[in-house]
Amino acid sequence: MHLLRKALYFFSEGLVGLWRHKGLHLFAIFVVALSLFVLGFSRYVTGNVSRLLRSWEQNLEVRVFLDPDASEELRNSLEETLSAQPTIASAAYVSPEQALDVLATIAPSFATLAEELPENPLPPSFALRLEGPMDPAAVRETIRRIEREEGVDEVLFDWDWVNRLRTYTRFAAFVGWVLFATLGFAALFTVAAIMRILALSRRDEIAILHFIGATGLTVRGPFVAGGALLGLLAGGVSLVLLALGHWLLRRDAGEDALLLTWISGTPLPWAEQAILAAGGALMGAVGGAVSLGSAKSWGDKTRG
């Protein structure tokens, strides 16, 4: 009960402090919200880039070329075998004629050359889509197994491209976290600096609290609670700004824009939104606590 009363005192004082220094706190909320917005936006960009890279990875195709003399029976059996593999999402048969049509679309001169030959030189094949997220070791094992199947001539998979995509994805995630950490620290210092200004504006009050016998916790508590409330509000504002930016981007990109295929439905995953808001509160609380680093000396050096 005593603790509850203390907590209530901290939060009510924190709230009263916010209200009584409205101008300064509004400015603080604006600055902190901006910092958190930049932080959230960096996650928005890197998160979507990672998402795009992952989707590309999932669209990668394994091509299984068949022996041109493979019977239809053998082909059907192979299709069943391929479809049963857990790492394979789908297996589509591509006949030599369909392969030629595709070639005609992507490289017309080669297609003309092929048509001039006595017979279609392109072999029948299966186009396999992988089950995502991709596990390279499992895919490697699957490919090895397919290569041993009767009627299979060759299996092609662009490991270079996979490795490159993996590197890009890791790099995007790394950049995202570096940005997140850097901007997080910047936001923390901003909060601490603002809370310091607020504390300085209330230094007489702090000195009074010290000489009437307030403990360090009691003096610090309202600043920590006020900082947490400020951070929470700023976190909320930054989420609103992110949602607004996300909505504007989707609205202005147009219904058929390629952009929309890789931008997520929400500005940030819900968990990250909660982290941003809670992180704002935590930063505010830490900023509030740090801002009174020398509060004891303020109390001990009262005039007289």
Partner 1 sequence: MGVGNDSPMIRFYHVSKYYRKEVAALSEVTLRIQPRQFCFLTGPSGAGKSTFLKLIIREERPSQGQIIVNGRNLAAISGRQLPFFRRSIGVVFQDFRLIPTKTIYENVSLLLTIQGMPIGERKRRAFEALQWVGLQSRLKAFPEELSGGEQQRVAIARALINRPAILLADEPTGNLDPDLAYEIMKLFREVNAAGTTVVVATHDRQLIRDFGGRVILLDRGRLVDGGE
- Given the complex with partner 1, which of 166 and 296 has the nearer CB atom? 296
Interaction between residue 133 and partner 1 (CB under 8 A): no
Is 53 in contact with 172 (CB distance < 8 Å)?
A: yes
Residues 6-65 that bind partner 1 (CB under 8 A): 6, 9, 16, 20
Smallest gap, in angstroms, from Cβ of residue 16 to partner 1? 8
- Cβ atoms within 10 A of the Cβ of 285, count? 23
Residues 179-198 that bind partner 1 (CB under 8 A): none
* Consecutive H or E run containing 19: helix 2-20
**Cα 60 from Cα 38, distance rounded (Å):** 33
Interaction between residue 211 and partner 1 (CB under 8 A): yes
Interaction between residue 97 and partner 1 (CB under 8 A): no
- The answer for residues whose C-beta is within 8 angstroms of residue 264's C-beta and 6 or more apart is 47, 48, 51
Interaction between residue 249 and partner 1 (CB under 8 A): no
CA distance to 37, 68, 273, per residue, from 65 (Å) = 50, 9, 47
Interaction between residue 218 and partner 1 (CB under 8 A): yes
No. of helices (H) and no. of strands (E), the chain = 12, 4
Interaction between residue 205 and partner 1 (CB under 8 A): yes
Is 207 in contact with 299 (CB distance < 8 Å)?
A: yes
Smallest gap, in angstroms, from Cβ of residue 212 to partner 1? 5
Q: Out of 161, 204, 247, 248, name the contact with partner 1 by CB under 8 A.
A: 204
Interaction between residue 148 and partner 1 (CB under 8 A): no
Smallest gap, in angstroms, from Cβ of residue 296 to partner 1? 8
**Cα 275 from Cα 271, distance rounded (Å):** 6
- Given the complex with partner 1, which of 22 and 251 has the nearer CB atom? 22
The DSSP 8-state label assigned to residue 124 in this structure reads P
Q: Residue numbers of the site for partner 1 (CB under 8 A)?
A: 2, 5-6, 9, 16, 20, 204-205, 207-216, 218, 296, 300, 302-304
